[in-house]
C-alpha cells in the first residue's frame, strides 16, 4: 500500500525533494529512478510524469530491473521486463496522484 496516496500533481510538484523521492520510490523501488523523476519536476501534467517515468525505466540495467521487481513483489507480474515494470509503476503513480485534482486536505 502506498503511503503517498491521492496527492494530486500540484502537491506532488511542490513536495520537498526528499519527500518526492520517497513517494516515487514507493512506485518503482529504485532510488536513482526516483531521484531523476523528482529532479525533473515540475511536471506540466500527468502524461509528462508518466512519459518520463517510462523513459527512465527503459534506461535501467537488467540488475536494476530485477531489484525493482523484488520491491514490487506483491504485484501480479506476467514477466520481468521493462514494459511490465512500466505498467506496474504507471498504476502506482496513478494511485499516488489520485483524482486529477487530488483529494481535499483535511
Distance separating alpha carbons of residues 65 and 28, to the nearest angstrom: 9
pLDDT, tens only, 21-47: 999 999 988 999 999 999 999 999 999
Residue 40 DSSP symbol: T
- Total-model pTM: 0.85
pLDDT, tens only, 5-14: 678 899 899 9
- Write the CATH number of the domain with boundaries 9-97: 1.10.3330.10
Q: Is the peptide bond before 42 cis (omega within 30 degrees of 0)?
A: yes
Question: Could you state, in order of their start, the residue ranges of all structural domains in the chain?
Answer: 9-97
Amino acid at each position: 500500500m502506498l503511503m503517498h496516496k491521492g496527492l494530486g500533481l500540484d502537491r506532488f510538484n511542490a513536495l520537498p525533494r526528499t519527500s518526492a523521492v520517497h513517494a516515487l520510490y514507493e512506485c518503482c523501488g529504485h532510488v536513482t529512478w526516483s531521484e531523476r523523476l523528482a529532479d525533473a519536476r515540475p511536471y506540466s501534467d500527468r502524461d509528462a510524469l508518466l512519459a518520463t517515468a517510462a523513459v527512465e525505466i527503459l534506461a535501467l540495467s537488467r540488475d536494476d530491473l530485477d531489484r525493482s521487481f523484488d520491491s514490487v513483489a506483491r504485484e501480479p507480474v506476467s514477466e520481468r521486463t521493462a514494459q511490465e515494470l512500466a505498467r506496474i509503476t504507471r498504476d502506482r503513480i496513478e494511485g499516488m496522484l489520485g483524482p486529477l485534482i487530488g483529494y481535499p486536505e483535511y
